[in-house]
Structures are given as C-alpha cells and as structure tokens.
Amino acid sequence: MKAAIMQPTYLPWLGYFDMIDQVDVFVFFDDVQLVKRSWGVRNRIKSHNGELMLTVPVKKTKSLKETKYAGAEINYSENWNRKHLESIKRSYSKAKYFNLFFPVLEKLLMKEYISVAELNISIIKELTGLLNIKTEFLRSSELKDITGKKDERLVSICKAINAGYYLSARGSAAYIEKSNPGGAFASSGIELYYHNYEHPQYNQLYGDFLPYMSVIDLIFNEGYDKALEVIRSGRREPLHFSQLRSEENLN
C-alpha cells in the first residue's frame, strides 16, 4: 500500500493534490508544530496585480513551539475569512467557472473551525471530492502507538497503517536523510520515494502564467473535470531516494 504524510496546508497548490492522487492513504500530519508563516496558514492566488498572499491569523500562545496544527486556534476577530472571500471574488469574478465554484468556497470559509487543522482538512477533503480523487484520509493525531521523531515518526506511521511504500515531498529529503541515506526508511522495509513534479500551464487570467498558485486558481479557470487532467499532466515518475541523492549530489 502506498502512503503520503503531509501537514494540512491552507488552499494547497497543484502538487499537493497530485501527491494525494498517487497514494492509497494520505495522512494529515496534524500533531506537529505549526511554523509561523508556513503554508499551513497561507497561500497564493493570482490577482489583477499579480501574486496575492492570503493568510489565516492564529491566536497567540505563550510558545509557538508548543502550537500544533490540531491545537492552533484561528483568530476570527479579524474577519479574515470575509476578507479572503472578497479578495477571491475580485480576482476571479471574470473566470469561466466562477459562478460554479465560488459558492463552494464561500460555504467552506464562512464556517468557523476549531483549529487550523480542521479548516485545512475540511477544505482539502471537499476539493479532493470535487476533483474526483478517491484517496483515503487519516489524521496522525488519531493514530495509536506512534513513536519517534522526524523520519522515525514517519516510519512509525507507515507501519501503523501497513504501508510498504512512502511518497515524500521532495523538500523533506534534507531532514529524512540527515543522518544516513534513506534515513529510518533504509532499515524499515518501507520503500522511500520522492514526489517528482513539473508544474503544468493552464488557462489563467491576467497576462503571463504564474505557477505555484493555490489549486483554486486552476479550478476557477478550468473547472473540476479539466483540473484533475491538468494536475496529472505535471506528474513525473517518483524518484527512489538513491536517484534523488544522485541527481542532487546529496552526501
């Protein structure tokens, strides 16, 4: 069984959904630290003036290091959700599929959520369904007997769900393999592969194409059915950890 484990991102980019589409089980890593200004609380859309960042405000705590996705409370006193919807409306009101998709986003964002994890997971699940991706979802905070830190924790999660193949985000190679090639996966019996993705182009408003926008940019411009086709068009063969080390000269 193939699995991927990722923090629940706010309005993720295309590659995030490609990872979901490639595995049997996708685990939301919601019991790890929420890093300030990470993709867990922000993402980009394309506006009339180019890239626009949308950020979800989180209530302050004594120590951010102790704030996990599942426990990070959203600050609704700033009316951020209404502001995000207004920015989205201004940016995409002329998009081909605006009238189809905007009511869905409006319903999702106007609901109040307990935590950042609840917000992001609800959005991701809804969008995955609209894109007709059939992957099973789990939350790391709900799994039992998970042990270890960093790569060892990822291995523990994979073993808990009986996954023999782990698809990792490419950017995670540095900490997974910090100690040795393949990290804790090398001796676990679990195959370690890295996501390999080339951002595709699609119809987009306002001049030259801007990559790495939120997936909502794609859906507004191309609709649900075409969106999955576009997402999959950027997919390349996953890289075994030994291949990635060779390509990027990792020591």
247 in any annotated domain: no
Number of structural domains the chain divides into? 1
Q: Is 111 contained in some domain? A: yes
- Residue 179 in any domain: the answer is no
Which burial class, exposed, middle or buried, applies to 208 when counting CB atoms under 10 A from its CB (0-12, 13-18, 19+)?
A: exposed
Burial class of residue 54, CB neighbours in 10 A (0-12, 13-18, 19+): buried
Distance CA 232, CA 22 (A): 9
> Is the residue at 9 inside a domain?
yes
Per-residue confidence of the chain (251 residues) as pLDDT tens digits?
999 999 999 999 999 999 999 999 999 999 999 988 799 999 999 999 999 999 999 998 766 567 899 999 999 999 999 999 999 999 999 999 999 999 999 999 999 999 999 999 999 999 999 999 999 999 999 999 999 888 999 999 999 999 999 999 998 988 898 878 898 899 999 999 999 999 999 999 999 999 999 999 999 999 999 999 999 999 999 999 988 765 655 44
In a domain? residue 150: no
- Tokens at residue 174, please? 């540095």
Q: For residue 152, tell me if it sits in a domain.
A: no
The three-point CA angle 100-101-103 to 5° equals: 90
Range of the domain at 13: 2-142+198-234
Alpha carbon 240 to chain centroid, angstroms: 21
* E strand residue ranges, 93-163: 136-139
Q: How many helices (H) and strands (E) does the chain have?
A: 8, 8
Is 32 among the domain residues? yes
Look at residue 241 and tell me if it is in a domain.
no
